[in-house]
Amino acid sequence: MRLYGLKNCDTCRKALKALNNAEFIDVRTDGVPADIMTRAFDEFGDRLLNTRSTTWRQLDAEERQKPVLELLSAYPTLMKRPLIESGDVLYLGWTKEVQAALG
C-alpha cells in the first residue's frame, strides 16, 4: 500500500498513523508516477484537484484554465490528499468511507 501526500499535511499524518503498513511518498519531493496520476484522474476527475489549497489561490486565472493533469504535474501540492494506492484500487482523501474500506 502506498500513500501519496505531504509530510506536513495533518490529514496525511492521520492516515499514515492508521495505516501501519503504508509506504509514504511525499508528492512535493518524489512526485506521483504518471501512470498512477492518470489512473487517479480517470477515476476521480476534477475531484483530484484541491481548489481550496494555498497553491490554487496563488495561481492566476490563466494558469487555472490548464488541464488538470498538467497542473498537477507542475504543482504536485494541488493534489487532494491523501491519494492511497492499495493493490489495484485507488482512494482519495481520508473520509469515513475510505477509513472503513481500508480498516
- Mind telling me the catalytic residues? 9
Query: What are 2's three cell numbers?
Result: 502506498
**What is the rounded distance in angstroms from the CA atom of residue 69 to the CA atom of residue 5?**
16
How far is CA 101 from each of CA 8, 9, 86, 97, rounded to the nearest angstrom?
24, 21, 10, 6
Q: Which of 29, 36, 51 is closest to 84 using CA atoms?
A: 36
